[in-house]
Amino acid sequence: MEQNKTGKYLKYAIGEIILVVIGILIALQINNWNEIRKTRITELNFLENIKADLKLNLVSLDEFINTRKEAVKSSHIILAYFNQPENIDLNAFNLHSLTVMVWFPFQQNDNTYQELLNSGQLSIISNKKIKDHMQNMQSNFKTIAFVENEMQQDFESYLYYPFFSIADVDASFKNFNG
């Protein structure tokens, strides 16, 4: 009789252990799902911020391109003055000269990428293609910075010194500011 009770208790204990293990496994799975959900929310927030950075970069690039286009137009006008010096309008010449001289560097916006990189959370971005594009974009930013630096050195060497040594800077600034 006592063996029968021990067998029942043993079956009952094993059943309880199995239920506890199943409960723990279910709790772990729920916890994993919750962590995956939190990670996904964080990833989506980072992606939204990257999107915002990219929009700012587009605006900055458009501004940079437009100022460079204006400088090119002004360069052509200045060259035309040299081809026909008798028709020179000094105020317009000064204005266009200063337009060529003005240098506004490209303002890169990569705060989110830098945050991901510095925090070690770049791996949170699950889409490899997006990660690769972000890293390529950083390489492109370095190229832009290098080219800008070279252009700025050329400007300082070949344009700024000759211009500021002979130009009527006060008149140029008055014309430039309108």
Tens-digit pLDDT profile for residues 5-58: 778 888 889 999 999 999 999 999 999 999 999 999 999 999 999 999 999 999
pLDDT reading at 178 higher than 60: no
Q: Where are the domains of the chain?
A: 2-177
pLDDT digits (tens, 9 = 90+) for 80-101: 888 887 777 877 887 888 888 8
pLDDT bin (cut points 50, 70, 90) of residue 168 is: low
Report the Cα 91 to chain-centroid distance in Å: 39
Count the neighbouring beta carbons within 10 Å of the beta carbon of residue 130. Answer: 14
